[in-house]
Structure 1
Amino acid sequence: MFPVLETKRLVLRELVEKDAQVILKCFSNDDVLRYYGQKPLTSIEQVKQIIKNFAGQFKEKNGIKWGIELKETSTIIGTIGLQEWSFEHKRANISYALFPENWGNGYASEAVDKVISYGFQELGLERIGAVVFVENKASSHLLIKLGFTKEGTLKKYMYQNDIPFDTDVYSLLK
């Protein structure tokens, strides 16, 4: 059973095929992808396959991806997930992306905080990590605010638009 998580303003729920159009809009947006390390999505069929892959990752217990939905409007404003999830090593990495019009409202912080709690309390994780482009000051600030510690910098670790970027590695221990 896929876990639905709620905060004061958000519902974190499973992404389904009917979400494909909004996910395409989000992950074809240059502003969203600027620090994401992913090529833009280009078709509904591609997104539907990705949503199926998310379901498979959850079933196999190696990843989980939620849609971030505003309670007030029942609209998806982004995604959040745990990937590289290892039961054996009790760790996972967190990632998140929101539409630019929802930046600066505290939604990412609210969603990340809830997923952290879920990871530690329900999944038995001992470590949650994050890999962030050095230039992504907003994400770095959010993680530090929530208690993450910067562990170091990985040189030319991720590519965006065929350009290598350095990334900072963060962790939060239970």
Structure 2
Amino acid sequence: MHLIGKKVIIRNFEEGDFDSFYVLVKNKANHDLSGMEYTTDINEAKKIFYRYMETPGSYCIALKESSLMVGIIELNERGMSGELQKTREVGFIIEGKYRRLGLASEAIELIIKYGFERLGLIELWASAEEDNIAPQKLLVKHNFKYIYEVNQALNFLGGDDKILRYYLLKG
């Protein structure tokens, strides 16, 4: 994958991206807001990083001018039967110091175009934690429509209930 925008490139992960990746996974706020894996153990982070490298549909968001990884964007399969074959779930995160620069917005634009024009998708889904307002606004800006919310009910595992809001964009 290699999509080029004005400020960002969406590309496959490279070995040199690990340091930037580690910044993302060792920040607990990223986990709390997006559900991204969390660890401060560098060896565990390396295992997670290599899993991302090998996962189809997981891509690096990099600055166009330097190729520095600043985030992750994903097109996750929702199922491989019937009409689900032509749908994907979009997930994304930008490292804190690169937020509010329009990078996530540009990455979303690129991935939407890629999904509908090159993959022939008919729907894109996305979700955001109830209290994570920024991605919800970003999704609406890109014509995703709020559909419903679900209580993840993780308190039986010792965690808090998590309300996820789901958004849909049809091609």
Name the structure 1 match of 2:60: 67
Q: Superposed, which structure 2 residues align to 1:1-174 within 5 Å?
A: 3-58=1-56, 64-86=57-79, 88=81, 89=84, 90-156=86-152, 162-174=159-171
AA in 2 matched with 1:18: G
Distance 1:127 1:157, change over 3 A: farther
* Identical columns (%): 25
RMSD (Å), alpha carbons: 2.0
Alpha carbons of structure 1 residues 54 and 26: separation in structure 2 relative to 1, 3 Å = closer
Higher strand proportion (structure 1 or 2): 1
Query: Deviation at 1:124?
Result: 1.5
Q: CA 1:52–1:105 in structure 2 vs 1: closer, same or farther (change >3 Å)? A: same
Q: Tell me which protein shows more helix as a share of its residues.
A: 2
Contact 2:17 2:68 in 1 (8 A): no
Instruction: Note the residue ranges of structure 2 that are not aligned, 5 or more in a row.
Output: none
* Cα 1:143/1:104, change in 2 over 3 Å: same
- Give the gaps of 5 or more residues in structure 1: 59-63
Count of residue pairs brought into register by the alignment: 166
**Would the aligned equivalents of 1:37 and 1:158 in 2 still touch at CA under 8 Å?**
no
Secondary structure of residue in 2 paired with 1:163: coil
For the structure 1 residues 137 and 15, does the alpha-carbon distance in structure 2 shift closer, same or farther, using more than 3 Å as the test? same
Q: Aligned partners of 2:116, 2:44: CA distance in 1, in Å?
A: 32
C-alpha contact 1:31 1:100 (8 A) present in aligned 2: no
In the alignment, the residues of structure 1 paired with residue 169 and residue 98 of structure 2 have an alpha-carbon distance, to the nearest angstrom, of: 25
